[in-house]
Amino acid sequence: MQLHSKGQLRCSDVIAYHLDPNNPDRLLYSPKESGERELALARCTRFNNQHLVSLAQQFGVSDSAMAIRLKELELVRWP
């Protein structure tokens, strides 16, 4: 993962694959307003063959609440 100069996570096709290996195109081509990308990031418990605690679990909130906050703060930058 790569952080953009504004503190945003800059995502790519590789990131989309790690977030949804079965269907990365779903994330790459979903409308920006859909929140699908942020939700996938909020739920992520495995990345690059490493197990991790999801962002939602780390902050003690639901997946949806974490995704909304990621979107509100514009912390995810997609192509």
45 phi and psi angles, rounded to 5 deg = -120, 0
Sequence ranges of the domains in the chain:
2-77
pLDDT tens track for 29-59: 888 888 899 999 999 999 888 999 999 999 9
The token duo for 5 is: 């100069």
pLDDT tens track for 8-29: 887 788 999 999 999 999 988 8
48 phi and psi angles, rounded to 5 deg = 55, 45
pTM: 0.83
The token duo for 68 is: 């909304």
How far is 46 from 31, CA to CA, in rounded Å? 24
The token duo for 46 is: 């495995």
Q: Are 40 and 27 in contact (CB under 8 A)?
A: yes
